[in-house]
Amino acid sequence: MILDVIASQRLDSRGNPTVQVEVRTAHGTFRSLVPSGASTGVHEAVELRDNDQSKYGGMGVLKAVNNINEIIGPALIKEGYDPQHDLKQIDGFMRELDGTPNKAKLGANAILGVSMACARAGTAAANIPLYEFLRRESGEESPYVVPVPFFNVLNGGKHSGNGMAFQEFMIAPTGARTIEEGVRMASETYHCLKGIISEKFGAIYTGIGDEGGFAPPITQPEEALDLLTEAVAKAGYTDKIKFGIDPASSEFFDSKYGTYDLGFKSIPEGESHSESVRTPKEMMDLYNSLMEKYPIPLLEDPFAEDDWDSWTKFCADYKEELVGDDLLVTNVERVRMAESRAACNAMLLKVNQIGTVTEAIDAAKLAKSLDWGVFVSHRSGETTDDFIADLTVGLGTGHIKSGAPCRGERVAKYNRLMDIEAELKGSWKPWFYAGEQFRKPEAFFIG
């Protein structure tokens, strides 16, 4: 039984307000903190902001906080839900209470905070770890999978101030045997990268972007991948660390002309675009040439959220993992649309894109049933809440991205994953580190 629900306004990793929720039951008080994106998809559930310019530049979340304290909390307590068994009903009830298709009335940031805190309350009542609770919620039965972490070590796009259009260049220790080893490999590579950047561009360029990655003065994807190649070699992990890219291309798509502007961060004054405008065909050629030259088993959002034709064309003979983020927004309806158009072969999972834990689980289950990969993700505006680490293990998705191996809100997730791995090691439970099988970890076990 829920005894109390208390929401407060706190800060996220960008220094913007976010929602904190505390749910009290007979088993204790359970807290959640809600993340927030910068390169948000237009089809995402609505994050309610106060728009009161006199406070926090309009970014306050007191409306969402009040919606919890005055509407959601009292209604949930009255219904008498039991978080241990009723998480799906709790989420469904909040959805109905909101009444809009995108949680615009009460705010997805309000609803998600309550949903996450209720999951933790249910976990405590069941006296099991959170990943175990979420595993039960999702009906997962295969062996436990410790995911491959994808570390975003070079930040561009909306996440940094350099001229790089592509948002994320990630390193993935697929050749590690455990996540503990993978984290060490990534951390060592990260420090090698810092040294290389310092040498090439000067120490002033070792400052970091929103997700803890470096943001040196580069503009071309090849420059980024060459830096990564050099850092990986210097650390001694060639062939053991692979790369992932998230251009987050919705951010530089011009829907009027159907083109992509790779110079969108440095458009000359008075102009509407830079000199680096590319057609979808040119983007496809660019991606294909990068794939040929570097080990890149994962590409996310290479095309904009509604540029369906390009997705479909590119996916047709694409062998690696093609992840839909803005395209799918963790929404079962968008996943079905993408399936019918054969637009991608993996789903990015961000809990705040859809706004409840059980809807995110449903989207992951649907994606898995289509034989797609599922890639769990943080947001660029994060908190120290490590919920998604447990979610990844609970769902057995095989991979997660949580930024660089640096900054408290990023490493909170990696540290929690190492705790989970240590716990699994000391248990009777069958488990493995996803490694090269991060796309479809079940295949590892089936053989």
Q: Does 359 bind Mg ion (CB under 5 A)?
A: no
Nearest distance, CB of residue 409 and Mg ion, angstroms: 17
One of 47, 98, 246, 305 touching Mg ion (CB under 5 A): 246
Instruction: Tell me how far apart the alpha carbons of residues 85 and 135 are, in angstroms, rounded to a whole number.
Output: 13
The answer to whether residues 273 and 261 touch, using CB atoms and an 8 Å cutoff, is yes
CA 133-135-136 angle, to 5 degrees, is 65
With CA atoms as reference, report the closest residue to 170 among 321, 292, 279: 321
The answer to whether residues 176 and 143 touch, using CB atoms and an 8 Å cutoff, is no
The answer to whether residues 227 and 197 touch, using CB atoms and an 8 Å cutoff, is yes
Q: Does 44 bind Mg ion (CB under 5 A)?
A: no
- Check the annotation: does 43 bind a ligand: no
- Check the annotation: does 300 bind a ligand: yes
- Check the annotation: does 249 bind a ligand: no
Q: Does 382 bind Mg ion (CB under 5 A)?
A: no
Which positions touch ligand 2PG (CB under 6 A)?
A: 37-40, 167-168, 211, 246, 248, 325, 377, 379-380
Instruction: Tell me how far apart the alpha carbons of residues 352 and 411 are, in angstroms, rounded to a whole number.
Output: 19
Query: Which one of 44, 47, 137, 211 is the catalytic residue?
Result: 211
333 catalytic, yes or no? no
421 catalytic, yes or no? no
Q: Which does 383 bind (CB under 5 to 8 A by kind): ligand 2PG, Mg ion, none?
A: none
Site string for Mg ion, 264-303 (x = CB under 5 A): -------------------------------------x--
Nearest distance, CB of residue 431 and ligand 2PG, angstroms: 26
**Which helix H or strand E contains 339, and what residues bound it?**
helix 332-340
- Check the annotation: does 255 bind a ligand: no
The answer to whether residues 128 and 393 touch, using CB atoms and an 8 Å cutoff, is no
Looking at the Cβ atoms of 138 and 380, the one nearer to ligand 2PG is 380
Q: Which does 47 bind (CB under 5 to 8 A by kind): Mg ion, ligand 2PG, none?
A: none
The answer to whether residues 13 and 112 touch, using CB atoms and an 8 Å cutoff, is no
Quote the distance between the C-alpha of residue 271 and its chain's center: 33
Q: Does 321 bind Mg ion (CB under 5 A)?
A: no
Looking at the Cβ atoms of 325 and 409, the one nearer to Mg ion is 325
Nearest distance, CB of residue 36 and ligand 2PG, angstroms: 7
One of 47, 137, 325, 421 touching Mg ion (CB under 5 A): 325
SS3 helix, strand, coil % of the chain, rounded to 5? 45, 15, 40
Q: Which does 40 bind (CB under 5 to 8 A by kind): ligand 2PG, Mg ion, none?
A: ligand 2PG
Looking at the Cβ atoms of 158 and 439, the one nearer to ligand 2PG is 158
Query: Which one of 240, 242, 350, 368 is the catalytic residue?
Result: 350
Q: Which does 32 bind (CB under 5 to 8 A by kind): Mg ion, ligand 2PG, none?
A: none
Q: Does 251 bind Mg ion (CB under 5 A)?
A: no
Rounded to 5 degrees, what are φ and ψ at 117? -65, -35
Nearest distance, CB of residue 148 and Mg ion, angstroms: 17
Q: Does 137 bind Mg ion (CB under 5 A)?
A: no
Nearest distance, CB of residue 264 and Mg ion, angstroms: 16
- Check the annotation: does 54 bind a ligand: no
Looking at the Cβ atoms of 211 and 246, the one nearer to Mg ion is 246
The single residue listed with the structure tokens 């996540």 is 179
- Check the annotation: does 319 bind a ligand: no
Instruction: Tell me how far apart the alpha carbons of residues 350 and 358 are, in angstroms, rounded to a whole number.
Output: 12
With b meaning 16 or more CB within 10 Å and e meaning fewer, what string describes 263-286?
A: bbbeeeeeeeebebbbebeebbeb
Q: Which does 37 bind (CB under 5 to 8 A by kind): ligand 2PG, Mg ion, none?
A: ligand 2PG
Looking at the Cβ atoms of 39 and 109, the one nearer to ligand 2PG is 39
- Check the annotation: does 251 bind a ligand: no
- Check the annotation: does 378 bind a ligand: yes
**Which helix H or strand E contains 365, and what residues bound it?**
helix 357-369
The answer to whether residues 398 and 298 touch, using CB atoms and an 8 Å cutoff, is no
**Which helix H or strand E contains 67, and what residues bound it?**
none
Instruction: Tell me how far apart the alpha carbons of residues 149 and 179 are, in angstroms, rounded to a whole number.
Output: 8
Q: Tell me the chain's radius of gyration from C-alpha atoms.
A: 21
Instruction: Tell me how far apart the alpha carbons of residues 67 and 61 are, in angstroms, rounded to a whole number.
Output: 10
- Check the annotation: does 380 bind a ligand: yes
The answer to whether residues 261 and 249 touch, using CB atoms and an 8 Å cutoff, is no
The answer to whether residues 21 and 383 touch, using CB atoms and an 8 Å cutoff, is no
Query: Binding site for Mg(2+): what residues are annotated?
Result: 246, 300, 325
Question: Binding site for substrate: residue ranges?
Answer: 159, 168, 300, 325, 377-380, 401
Catalytic residues: 211, 350
The binding site comprises 159, 168, 246, 300, 325, 377-380, 401
Residues that bind Mg ion (CB under 5 A): 246, 248, 301, 325
